[in-house]
């Protein structure tokens, strides 16, 4: 899960997907992580608002810490999912030739959601953080459904 700073959207998506992986009984078979394309918040916890809104939905986020995407991630992970087109382009710029990871938009797993991107809630209000949760919830369900079909 990748956004710009790794303190709002991507840790929310990480926590949501971890929750869904657990519900699906895929613990131990699916590794979930998040990172940012920028190094603004390396080792920082998620935004306090993201944590608060996530906790209301049963997500555990306080233990997460920001990190920057590395070239090694393209070999470590099968999927690298961006929150928006800008971060997708950033991933494609650093992607090593011949890497095995599928790089895509997270929202491609929820085509009926009405949004191709997860909008950045950082400068918004509570409703923006709730929208992020709604979107990543739908996308996580779609992603899990695709995984279990394979």
Active site residues: 3, 9, 120
Task: Name the packing angle between helices 48-55 and 9-23 (round to 10°).
Answer: 20
Task: Assign 109 to helix, strand or coil.
Answer: helix
Contact 13, 50 (CB under 8 A): no
> Which token pair is 133?
């949760």
Which DSSP state fits 36?
E
By residue count, the chain amounts to 150
Q: Which residues pair with 102 in a beta bridge?
A: 79
Contact 101, 74 (CB under 8 A): yes
Determine if residue 113 is left, alpha or beta; phi over 0 gives left, psi from -120 to 50 gives alpha, anything else beta: alpha
């Amino acid at each position: 899960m990748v956004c710009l700073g790794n303190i709002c959207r991507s840790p929310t998506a990480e926590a949501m997907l971890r929750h869904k992986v657990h519900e699906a009984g895929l613990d131990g078979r699916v590794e979930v992580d998040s990172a940012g394309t920028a190094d603004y918040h390396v080792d920082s916890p998620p935004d306090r608002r993201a944590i608060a809104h996530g906790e209301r939905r049963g997500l555990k986020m306080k233990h997460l810490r920001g990190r920057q995407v590395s070239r090694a991630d393209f070999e470590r992970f099968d999927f690298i999912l961006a929150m928006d087109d800008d971060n997708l382009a950033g991933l494609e710029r650093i992607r090593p030739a011949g890497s095995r990871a599928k790089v895509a938009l997270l929202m491609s797993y929820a085509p009926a959601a009405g949004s191709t991107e997860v909008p950045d809630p950082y400068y918004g209000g509570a409703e923006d953080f709730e929208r992020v949760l709604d979107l990543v919830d739908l996308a996580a369900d779609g992603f899990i459904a695709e995984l279990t079909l394979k």
